[in-house]
Structure 1
């Protein structure tokens, strides 16, 4: 029979470990594919330099996910989550028509 103290300590250790590793799990999301329906809807491209400027006239050179207000990673991160693509990460060098410059 386990004592209440042992159960408390075990539960506390499990809770602490899961709290420490939850940020790691948050970044283990799948990378967004250009063929994903939400990516197609927003014209997402993994490389901003490959954006069709005729189809997306709002694109301007220098606009990349890494300098968009929605990009949830550091400026040096190759990929990071984007709230527009729930549960997916985007390329820092990518672009979509929802781009808004960080201010």
Structure 2
């Protein structure tokens, strides 16, 4: 019985490696979104929509303050969801808000 050529083995190895890289890239883009009802979100007063923040509970809130103009927002301009330094590996909504909001440098 003859063993398969080395070239066949290398092609299979590259194909499997490519599938692993694709799966890893997909895992990075599908980070979970912050749940507004989680303890961490409640502690920070996080809301997915800045217009739904309780102004009585958070008098420092200004409607123009949004996650996408905060220094902790880790996305690019126009990203609807992105990472946040306050929430670790979870994603926040661009129009969201929390008490940690800090104006992004110009």
Which band: TM-score by shorter chain? 0.7 to 0.9
Larger Rg: 2
> What do residues 38-90 of structure 1 show as CA deviations (whole Å, max 9, x unaligned)?
10010001110111112112211210001111111112111111121122111
Count of paired positions: 103
5+ residue gaps in structure 2?
A: none
> 1:57 pairs with 56, 59, 62, which one?
59
> 1:76 pairs with 78, 85, 102, which one?
78
User: Structure 2 CA distance, aligned partners of 1:98 and 1:32?
Assistant: 15
Change (3 A) 1:20 1:2: same
Runs of 4+ in 1 over 2 A off after TM superposition: 1-25
5+ residue gaps in structure 1?
A: none
- Which position in structure 2 is the counterpart of 1:29? 31
Aligned-pair distance for 1:100?
Answer: 0.8
